[in-house]
């Protein structure tokens, strides 16, 4: 009598191995989210610049990100950069570069939206007080955008759910590193299936559990975003 395929997940350290694989993508996602928030803030401010060059630059960046599948961008960096510039980047570095490139533009667009929702009189009052442009952003607009601060909690209310949604998208997208030879959860799953090739339904259970794991990671974020949206609407 053969056991159910799911039992192989609890043989030896198989489950720990899967979790280790999941952590590889999650770590990449966390680094990406962090960097995207940071650069996205700069990008968002840059998008509001009145300078033509800056506008075109942001526009082109955003359009590239909108049009190119993330997998294509991954290939460009992972395979293309080695050829073009002789940079031999490993999979994880390429992934962080690509996903940050993407996340920065998307996060920047959200931040631009939040910044423009701050009433104009805030900027004008600050200018009337004699603040320089940089100071206006640093002391007036950005704090209001990021924090639930003094006058305008609406900006944060608008930004935060969207930023959380973007973060779950980033977590889901990091699964793509499988395609550039990073040993992440799907790859570990394949290794486990290979070891237990005598167990016919091993593949079913392994992929089912990976599916569930991703769901369990992303779902709480989605719920949180939805909750915040509902409460702050």
Partner 1 sequence: MDWIFIASHVGDYVGGAWVTLRFGLYGVLCSLALGMLCCLARYFRVPVLRQIAVGYIELARNTPLLVQLFFLYAGLPRVGIRFSAEACAVIGLTFLGGAYMAEAFRSGLEAVDKAQVEAGACIGLTRRQNIRYVIFPQALATAVPALFANVIFLIKETSVFSVLAMMDLMNVADTLRTSGGRTVEVLFMLVAAYLIILLPVSVIATMVERRLRYAGFGDQHSV
Residues that bind partner 1 (CB under 8 A): 5, 66-72, 75-76, 79-80, 82-84, 168, 172-173, 175-176, 178-179, 186, 189, 200-208, 210-211, 214-215, 218-219, 222
Let me know: does 32 contact 96? Beta carbons within 8 Å.
yes
Task: Specify whether the CB–CB gap between 31 and 102 falls below 8 A.
Answer: no
Residue 117's φ and ψ, nearest 5 degrees, are: -85, -5
Q: Where are the alpha helices (DSSP H) in 152-201?
A: 154-173, 185-195
Q: Which residues contact 14 (CB under 8 A, 6 or more apart)?
A: 8, 192
Q: Are 122 and 144 in contact (CB under 8 A)?
A: yes
- Closest residue by Cα to residue 232 from 132, 172, 148: 148
Rounded to a whole number of angstroms, the minimum distance from the CB of residue 13 to partner 1 is 22
Task: Please state the closest distance from residue 200 (CB atom) to partner 1, in A.
Answer: 6
Q: Quote the least distance from Cβ 120 to partner 1, whole Å.
A: 17
Nearer to partner 1, 155 or 168 (CB): 168
Nearer to partner 1, 127 or 175 (CB): 175
**1 vs 4, which CB is nearer to partner 1?**
4
Q: How far apart are CA 20 and CA 113, in angstroms?
A: 37
State the nearest-atom distance from the C-beta of 26 to partner 1, in Å. Answer: 12
State in angstroms the smallest separation of the CB of 211 from partner 1: 5
CB of 94 to partner 1, least distance (A): 13
Rank residues 139 and 204 by Cβ distance to partner 1 and give the closer one: 204
Q: Is 129 exposed, middle or buried (0-12, 13-18, 19+ CB in 10 A)?
A: exposed
How far is it, in rounded angstroms, from Cα 187 to Cα 6?
Answer: 18
**91/89 Cα distance (integer angstroms):** 7
By C-beta, is 71 or 127 nearer to partner 1? 71
Q: Which is nearer to partner 1, 139 or 219 (CB)?
A: 219
């Amino acid at each position: 009598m053969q056991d159910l395929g799911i039992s192989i997940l609890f043989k030896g350290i198989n489950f720990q191995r899967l979790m280790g694989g999941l952590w590889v993508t999650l770590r990449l996602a966390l680094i990406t989210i962090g960097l995207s928030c940071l650069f996205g803030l700069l990008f968002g401010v840059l998008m509001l610049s009145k300078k033509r060059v800056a506008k075109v630059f942001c526009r082109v960046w955003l359009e590239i990100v909108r049009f190119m599948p993330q997998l294509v961008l991954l290939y460009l960096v992972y395979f293309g950069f080695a050829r073009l510039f002789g940079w031999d980047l490993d999979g994880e570095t390429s992934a962080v570069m690509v996903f940050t490139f993407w996340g920065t533009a998307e996060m920047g667009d959200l931040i631009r939206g939040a910044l423009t929702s701050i009433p104009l009189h805030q900027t004008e009052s600050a200018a009337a007080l004699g603040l320089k442009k940089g100071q206006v952003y640093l002391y007036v607009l950005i704090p209001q955008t990021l924090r639930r601060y003094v006058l305008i909690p609406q900006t944060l209310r608008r930004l935060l759910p969207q930023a959380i949604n973007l973060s779950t998208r980033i977590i889901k997208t990091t699964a793509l590193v499988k395609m550039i030879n990073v040993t992440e959860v799907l790859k570990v799953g394949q290794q486990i299936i290979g070891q237990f090739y005598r167990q016919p339904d091993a593949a079913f259970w392994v992929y089912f559990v990976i599916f569930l794991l991703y769901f369990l990671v992303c779902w709480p974020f989605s719920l949180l975003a939805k909750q915040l949206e509902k409460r702050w609407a």
